[in-house]
Amino acid sequence: MKNQKDLIDRALSGDPFPGLPQGHFIDGAFCAAAAGRSMESLDPGRAEAFAAFARGDAADVDAAVASARQAFETQWRDMPAAERGRLLQRAAELIRENAERLAVVECLDSGKPIGEARGDVQGAARAFEYYAGACDKLQGDTFPIGPAYLGYSLQEPVGVAAQIIPWNFPISTAARGIAPALAAGCTVVAKPAEQTPFTALLLAEILKEAGLPDGVCNVVTGTGAEAGAPLAAHDGIDHITFTGSVASGTAVMKAAAENVTRVVLELGGKSPVIVLGDCDREAALDGVMGAIFENAGQICSAGSRLIVERSLHDGFVEALCRRTEKLTLGHGLRDPQLGPVNSAEQLARIAGFIERARERGIEVATGGAETTDPETGKGWFFQPTIAAADSPNDELVQEEIFGPVLTVQIAEDPEHALTLANNSQYALVAGVYTGNFAHAHRMAQRLDAGQIYINEYFAGGIEVPFGGNKKSGFGREKGLEGLLSYCRTKAVAARI
């Protein structure tokens, strides 16, 4: 406990954080950018730089892809699956051994409360643990094509997999992509967001310590334009997993199309939380609060639309506002209930949505303003906000805000709630709170979303496939289905 406190006190002091890598991780070692450039990472809780890192470009991407290709063809692809599993299990153990340091770095980089960062680190360890156990369970099938033939299939690793990682969940998103790619026998080139580069670099270092051969996992840092775009367009990449905005995902798809590269896209969301009149009211209140205010609402699958049955509406929204107004704000390392948003650009984006809503005459029930850390007067913060929208086509209903803003819609009955929920260009997840399981499972069948939560938002874990429909993307991560994203099926038919 003393070491935890010392680490946090050191980070809060504003002194340089010890031991952060400043270079890319390529071919098993940290190295400077080919062009010798660097850039700063900013602490959102203070709106100040706290460390520098390498600003890479196409030359660094070339070096990382070449290293990954060499490692794939000479070492990793043909390593026995059980041995790959042992290395991934060791990585899970090392992540847990380094959990507090990883959490503090994640908090400084992303701004999220330290308690949430600790949960993300444990989730990353669990991802490696889960896929460690799957390495030697990946198997093909046999086909009944007659007594004179033998038909069977093989699941082969697709090759070099690119991971383009977002800023809102840096270590957990990295782990949920890197772990299954390695389990399948692929090698990796990861490009973390320029806002949050450090835990991906530290994760690569941990993987080397666990015994991964050099070149199996590489990390190139820098901007999306200078490093991410060359990675997506690289003809040495066999698969791309991208998490981010619809606009960036579209650009990745276009770049991948030039080389006919496989892609998995996890993009935006405007996920509904349906609260019916027969629900457990306290559980629903807890669930709605967590769905929108965890990580300051900066979650693709955040429950950013509350669709509440009219019979419950008035008292439910009043109670929600009372709870919201009691939330504590502050620097993530002090573990408030709500941390900062990630950047000045994101803060301005959120504020713009609310300013335009007020101009349209929309009622903001609580919150709705920029603010700062009450202890220091610094940082990029936005008050937790609840607003009502009468039109199902209003911008607050249809557009992803990616901040602590909840839009409330009123449903007349379960059927109306379903109609409102599906009226979106996005279809990532949806939540349902009801005491009637017939209602719950009928809605689960008819809601257009990749994952449905019933009576607990963010239910499930690494075992449950995750991904969206419509403009939320396609393909699935997590679960055994996520493992298959990094495989190609080879069918064999032999005459006996």
Q: Phi first, then psi: what are they for 242, rounded to 5°?
A: -125, 135
Q: How far apart are CA 377 and CA 336, in angstroms?
A: 15
- Which residue out of 135, 217, 300, 487 is catalytically annotated? 300
Active site includes 345? no
- Reported residue count of the chain is 496
- Residue 182's H or E segment, with its range, is helix 170-184
**For helices 414-422 and 437-446, what crossing angle results, to 10°?**
30
Dump strand ranges (E) for 312-418. 364-366, 370-371, 381-382, 385-388, 405-411
Dump strand ranges (E) for 165-261. 187-191, 217-219, 239-243
- Which residue out of 266, 294, 309, 477 is catalytically annotated? 266
Contact 373, 48 (CB under 8 A): no
Cβ density class 376-410: b for 16+ within 10 Å, e for less: eebbbbbbbbbbbbeeeebebbbbbbbbbbbbbbb
Q: Is 118 left (phi over 0), alpha (psi -120 to 50) or beta?
A: alpha
Q: How do 429-433 and 473-474 pair as beta strands?
A: unpaired
Contact 332, 45 (CB under 8 A): yes
Active site includes 487? no
The catalytic residues are 266, 300
